[in-house]
Structure 1
Amino acid sequence: MRNPKPRGRAVQSAAPVARLRNFYVAFAVIALLIVVGVVYNIYGTTAEPVKTLEATIPAPRNAEIPMGKTDDGRYYLGKPDAAVTVVEYADYQCPGCAFYSNSLSAAFEKDFIATGDVRLIFQDFPLAMHVNAVPAAIAARCAGEQSVGAFWQFNSLLFTNQIQWKELETAAFKLQNVEYAGQLGLDKTAFAACIELPENERTVRDFQKKSNALGLPGTPSFAVQGAIVDASSAKSVDDIDALVRAAINKALGK
């Protein structure tokens, strides 16, 4: 606040001006020290760039299993003309989805996909509560732009390393995804450009809306031959897997 002009004086004396100037200098110094302290607490003694982490690279999928992409942009494993089609609705940040991918999917592929009986389609269903689910889905799809096999590699890598990235801030997660792409031998420059394209987020959001419209109870969820598997009785992901297997066997007439 400016000091009021003293009555009876045409000009303010030099002493108050000097005191005011000293006050502002002291205030500026204190403010600078506060800012330095905040930066120090966040970044340490130096403002280092965000560090990325080395991923655990999952084992490659069975090279003999066919893979491709549907006309509407979903990736699949298995023969296109398989007797049974299964759709997996999943969220990359969902712990149950990670458990399924890391612990149960290999046996499922061996028992149903490698035999030629089932084609598995992966459909993005990022839940609103998971802030990194949409960026993760975009990243996997951008890997898929380089090759269908790269999509499935990135898909597995995200689930395998979920604990590593699930709480990263958006900017840090983007950098981490580019690093993941490099660790898989992908073109990092093309990948980094791809994850920034608005149309890729629109695609993921579109699948999110379609999944929500089905009234799914959560993730992971599955549909066998177009019918959502009722997993209301399931108490674990293992139970969901058992219900899906039963529905497939029924569809196969076993």
Structure 2
Amino acid sequence: MANKKKNEKSGSNSSAKFTFWVIGLVVVCIAAFIFLGNHNKKQENTEANTIDYSNQPYLGEKNAPVSIIEFGDYKCPNCKNFATNVVPIIEKELVDTGKAKFYFMNDSFINTDSIRSAKFAESVFKELGNETFWKFHELLYKKQPNDSKYEKMDVFTEEFLINTLKEVASDKDVDKVVKNFQSKDSDAAWDKDMKYAEKLGVTGTPTIFVNGEMFKGQTIDDLKNMVDNAAKGKKNE
């Protein structure tokens, strides 16, 4: 489990920021549809699916009864907002309380940067483990350019990714990751995520699933209720 500093939020402020993310998601998805036009996936049935969570980065206790997944893209502005403002709320309300584990899976659709950074992050996870992955993951979102003009430009070059990793890992560890990345040893892990995104009917990022079922609520309370219901269903199995 990654050892991270927790960002304390008040209850009312948490709900406001969570709702803001949902509203923002609609705007970003519309923008992606108009300007990118390359993420038109067929909407599929989102009822609970069997998911292999092994070898996936996660936050939380191993024995937590419920699994939450975020499908994200490192070039997606709304994913940056989600990572900065919403994930800390989920950690405080659901992960730190032992109710759920929080997973990140890739749905790389914006441009070549999206794929390159996702595969590099997979190499970080494979070579350096869960804790360093989350450090790199957070840093990569912090470094995402705020100007939308960079969305379709190559910014996350291999050199950029290597230099970013050097901020949280030793030169020796960075060399291990680069070797893994250049030999494409972690491409299969990225491909696994992309196939799950297709299977589950993901049509925008970030998209959240609770035990394989798509989250369609608007507040942190909606998510908490969904997690509680999923835990009860698991106990009744």
Q: TM-score range by the shorter chain?
A: 0.5 to 0.7
1:184 has 2:184 as partner: no
- Distance change (3 Å), C-alpha of 1:252 and 1:73: closer
Paired amino acid for 1:178:
I
Specify which of 91, 94, 98 is matched with residue 73 of structure 2: 91
Paired amino acid for 1:169:
D
Pairing 1:118-197 to 2, within 5 Å after superposition:
118-127=100-109, 129-144=110-125, 145-163=127-145, 169=154, 173-186=157-170, 187-197=173-183
8 Å CA contact 1:89, 1:219 repeated in 2: yes
- Distance change (3 Å), C-alpha of 1:208 and 1:174: same
Paired amino acid for 2:191:
R
Give the whole-Å Cα distance in 1 for the aligned partners of 2:178 and 2:185: 14
Which ranges of 4 or more aligned residues in structure 1 deviate by more than 6 Å? none
TM-score by length of 1: 0.62
Fraction of identical pairs, as percent: 20
- Distance change (3 Å), C-alpha of 1:167 and 1:178: farther
| Structure 1 residue 154: Cα displacement | 0.7
Partner residue, 2:196: 210
| Structure 1 residue 74: Cα displacement | 0.9
SS in 2 for 1:116: coil
| Structure 1 residue 109: Cα displacement | 0.4
Rg larger in structure: 1
Pairing 1:8-19 to 2, within 5 Å after superposition:
none
Give the whole-Å Cα distance in 1 for the aligned partners of 2:224 and 2:143: 26
Give the whole-Å Cα distance in 1 for the aligned partners of 2:138 and 2:213: 26
SS in 1 for 2:67: strand
Number of equivalenced pairs: 179
SS in 2 for 1:88: strand
Higher relative contact order (CA 8 A, sep 6+): 2
Give the whole-Å Cα distance in 2 for the aligned partners of 1:174 and 1:133: 12
8 Å CA contact 2:122, 2:189 repeated in 1: no
Paired amino acid for 1:205:
D
Q: Output the aligned Cα RMSD.
A: 2.5
Structure 1 stretches of 5 or more lacking a match? 1-59, 64-69, 232-238
Paired amino acid for 1:251:
A
